[in-house]
Amino acid sequence: MQQRAIKQMIIPSQDFKLDFGNPQGKTSETWHGGIATIFESPGDEVWGVVWKMNKSNLSSLDKQEGVKSGMYVPIEVNVSTQEGKEITCRSYQMTNYERVPPSPQYKKVICLGAKENGLPPDYQKKLNAIEPNDYKGKVSEEIEDIIKKGEAKTH
């Protein structure tokens, strides 16, 4: 899938909050804990990076995000760039989820991504303050590689 980052940090709609959970309470076999979603929450904000992609790739992205299985639904979110420009973006919201803390490994991947993409230090502190679950087992080699590469880049 061809993607390129728009080099602007954004604040989704100023009225969304990051949360972690599992759809219908089913634990993620990949991440061993809650996975990310956003929900409307007046006064809160979620920082991220906008990716520009060809519309022909939407079905592939939807598949990756579990839309067909009903895990997530695509939503449109109005975001503001640092320059104050409004953009409508596609995001994904978990359906019927039960709040569950993320595994330490998933939290680390989220925090490394925030650091690597230069999200504001205050937001990074919020992410680092998230209390993970107590999972101490193994994750896939692919996830271990992501963590190792991310730690190497940020040190």
| Adjacency order of strands within the sheet including 16-23 | 35-40, 16-23, 97-99
Question: So what's the pLDDT on residue 121?
Answer: 95
Q: Does pLDDT of 64 surpass 60? A: yes
Per domain, the residue ranges of the chain are 3-154
CATH number of 3-154: 3.10.490.10
Say whether 135 counts as a known binding-site residue.
Answer: no
pLDDT above 70 covers a percentage of the chain that reads: 92
Tokens for 152? 């190497």
State yes or no: pLDDT of 29 exceeds 60. yes
**Confidence tier at 67 by pLDDT (50, 70, 90):** very high
Catalytic residue among 45, 65, 83, 144: 65
Of 8-12, 141-145, 148-152, least confident by mean pLDDT is 8-12
Looking at every residue in the chain, the average pLDDT score rounds to 88
Which distant-in-sequence residues (6+ apart) come within 8 Å of 106 by Cβ? 20, 31, 32, 33, 34, 35, 132
pLDDT at 2: 53
User: Tens digits of per-residue pLDDT, 89-138?
Assistant: 999 999 999 999 999 999 999 999 999 988 999 999 999 999 999 999 99
Active site annotation includes 45? no
